[in-house]
Each structure stands twice: as C-alpha cells, then as structure tokens.
Amino acid sequence: MPSNAIWFGRLLVLIGVIGYGYGLYGGNQSLTALIPAAFGLALMVLGHIAQGKDSLRMHLMHAAAVIGLLGFLLPAGRILSKINDITISAAFISQVAMSLVCLVFVIFCVRSFIAARRDRVGS
C-alpha cells in the first residue's frame, strides 16, 4: 500500500506541475494550480515513511487515505457547486483529474484495508 501512495502522489504532483506550467505558458499562472502537487507530496511522504517504519504503517496509510478522501471531496465539491457554470478550462480539467486520481486511490485503500482485516481475522 505505501507504494500505491507514492505512485498516486507522483500523479498528483504531475497534475499540479502541468497545471501550473500551462498557466505559466499562458501568462495567468496561479499558485492554486499547485494544490494537487501539495496533496501528492503529502501522499509521497506518508508512503515513504510507511515503507521504512513497519510499526507505523497502518496509521500512516490511514492518514494517507484521509488525505486521498479530502483530495477527492474538495475538488468534487467545487465542481458540483459550479455545475451550472462549467466551462472547460485548465483549472476544471485539473480539478477533475485530481478528484478522479484521489477517488481511485481511496478505493485502493479501502480494498487494502478490507484485505488486511480479513487476514488478521482469518489468522
């Protein structure tokens, strides 16, 4: 699971950097374009620490799942709040991408947590 956190974190950093770079190229860059990168860095840090600290792995992966859940809910809520005024823009695409990446990560987390619980109960 920590390796999943690292890879999904990398995807989020990529989304943030591409969004910021696109804004920079167009002359209207904003630091808010780096929000996905901040979430990605948090996931990557938690994943790397969890790989090194086996005793903290469960707690760190639960924290990563919370970050992933927030990474899904915040942009999804923003998109839904402006559902009537949606215009396809770099910001919209970035929000959708962040939301989808985080949703898939949370699904992987839940599946992993369920499997771990089954293994503990079954053993």
DSSP 13-74: HHHHHHHHHHHHHHT---GGGGHHHHHHHHHHHHHHHHHH-GGGHHHHHHHHHHHHHHHHHH
Residue 120 has pLDDT above 90, yes or no: no
Mean pLDDT over the full length of the chain: 90
Q: State pLDDT tens for residues 6-54.
A: 999 999 999 999 988 888 887 777 888 889 999 999 999 999 999 998 8
Q: What is the pLDDT of residue 123?
A: 61
CB atoms within 10 A of CB 117: 10
Q: Tell me, yes or no, if the pTM score tops 0.85.
A: yes
